[in-house]
Amino acid sequence: MSAIPIGVALLLYQGKNGRQRLKREARRQARKGTVPDATAAPASSESGPSDRPLRRIGIGLLLGGAVLLAVGALLSPYGLLFFGLPGLILLIAGLIVSVSAI
């Protein structure tokens, strides 16, 4: 069970050459009116724009999973079994979809 937070942290980790970090730096450089350096340009041009509908679906799945977990926790231990397990599955699926849409 302790592997879940570590896995989520690794999914969201952005290294020095992470796609999101390079995109963000390119946007900042464009706002300043300068051209980004040569190391950031190829990586940011390879990654296209984020898929907004897919990201919204992922966020919806995350919210649905959170609601199911909350309902299951409020009902009883059996409610947690019946609502919590699908909620956990929705949370994981939503996290995967929303991260992959970035």
Residue 44 has pLDDT above 50, yes or no: no
Q: Return left, alpha or beta for 43; rule: phi > 0 is left, psi -120 to 50 is alpha, else beta.
A: alpha
Give the pTM.
0.50
Instruction: Indicate the pLDDT class of residue 45, thresholds 50, 70 and 90.
Output: very low
